[in-house]
Amino acid sequence: MSIELLAETAQAMVAEGKGIIAIDESNATIKKRFDGVGIECTEENRRAYRELLLTTPKLSDHISGAILFDETLRQSTRDGVPFTRVMADNGIIPGIKVDKGAHPLAGFPGELVTEGLDGLRARLEEYYKLGARFAKWRAVINIDDDAPSGTCIEANNHALARYAALCQEQGLVPMVEPEVIMDGSHDIDTCYEVTEVVLRSLFGSLYEHNVVLEGTILKASMVVPGTTSGDTASIEDVALATLQCLKSTVPATLPGIVFLSGGQSDEDATAHLDAMNRMGPKPWPLSFSYGRAMQSAALKLWSQDIANNVADAQKTVYARARDNGLAAMGQWNKAG
């Protein structure tokens, strides 16, 4: 492992005004997205859709990297050019989702633990050969009356730390993602407290596993009220709470933090990021690694006529990348 190379990749992922597009939905998740717009979830439709996203003209103006699913990393354009080649030619760093999903945590009803450590070293070795230079692992933390338990937090963070150490051993930058889920009736203060506990424990686990922070990226959820709480929080409230929580938990040596969108509207995801970046000095670049908030408008448009709407759908992908890229610099203008 070269720490310099890992650090170089990590810094490139959060280069000024750039962020990540997450297109790493598992086949089960992309089926849900396709079902929502009436597209059949065949391998060819998944390939065609990912080709649309990855060949968006000038995508790299605002996108530094893309997270793929295993199937996508091995696919090619209709003309036979491997997606990894398309990305390399366009200056977009290939990333790969390496966890095997969140599964029920035995003994803790309603809580989940992410699986996928068995055989991970060999998979990472192969992914590196296929061109991947960073890897994502998502832990899922639900908030409820009795959740999250300390056991759930510890189990997930232990797995995140083991995956991160393996990634670095194999030359890939770990993008560690402890997602505190928005669903629930909790208020914003509870989300803050849970996020703080989770992140504090995560960085303890990374430290115990000798993970080099200079070669690590955090993928964080924002501090928001639960979706069924009935509470509203202004853009500034969310930005202030999220920034304060991150400042009190995330070491300054980390090269950058990127956010997931987690079900926020496209506009909220952009506005929150923009507001945080307008809030003055902070130790790390704050950017995006959005899935839904990068893709949903494009998917809807494409679904209306998958043979003829490719170019128009790509225009919406570019527009979302541009808006989020500007938000990563605190320069987004809502009026467009």
Provide the annotated active-site residues: 177, 219
Whole-angstrom Cα distance, residue 208 to residue 226?
Answer: 32
Q: x/- binding map, residues 12-41, to ligand 13P, per CB under 6 A?
A: ----------x-x-----------------
Whole-angstrom Cα distance, residue 216 to residue 256?
Answer: 8
Asked whether the beta carbons of 217 and 168 are under 8 A apart, the reply is no
Closer to ligand 13P by Cβ: residue 138 or 186? 138
Q: How far is the CB of 177 from ligand 13P (least distance, A)?
A: 6
Q: How far is the CB of 30 from ligand 13P (least distance, A)?
A: 12
Told to check if 277 binds ligand 13P by CB under 6 A, we report no
Closer to ligand 13P by Cβ: residue 153 or 182? 182
* Contact pick of 51, 177, 266, 323 for ligand 13P (by CB under 6 A): 177
What number of chain residues touch ligand 13P (CB under 6 A)? Answer: 11
Told to check if 262 binds ligand 13P by CB under 6 A, we report yes
Residues between 284 and 303 that touch ligand 13P (CB under 6 A): 290-293
- Residue given tokens 């507001």 in the structure block: 275
Q: How far is the CB of 107 from ligand 13P (least distance, A)?
A: 25
259's enclosing H/E stretch is: strand 257-259
Stretch that binds ligand 13P, among 38-46, 58-66, 126-134, 258-266 (CB under 6 A): 258-266
Burial degree of 44 (CB within 10 A; 0-12, 13-18, 19+): exposed
H-state helical runs in the chain: 3-13, 27-37, 43-54, 70-73, 83-89, 120-130, 150-169, 188-208, 235-247, 266-277, 292-304, 310-327
Residues between 68 and 107 that touch ligand 13P (CB under 6 A): none
Whole-angstrom Cα distance, residue 335 to residue 274?
Answer: 13
Whose CA is closest to 198, among 156, 257, 163, 170? 156
Closer to ligand 13P by Cβ: residue 9 or 261? 261
Backbone angles phi, psi at 123, to 5 degrees: -65, -40
Three-state SS at 93: strand
Q: How far is the CB of 261 from ligand 13P (least distance, A)?
A: 3
111's enclosing H/E stretch is: none
Q: How far is the CB of 290 from ligand 13P (least distance, A)?
A: 4
Closer to ligand 13P by Cβ: residue 249 or 324? 324
Closer to ligand 13P by Cβ: residue 24 or 111? 24
146's enclosing H/E stretch is: none
Residues between 120 and 149 that touch ligand 13P (CB under 6 A): 138
Interacting residues toward ligand 13P by CB under 6 A: 22, 24, 138, 177, 260-262, 290-293
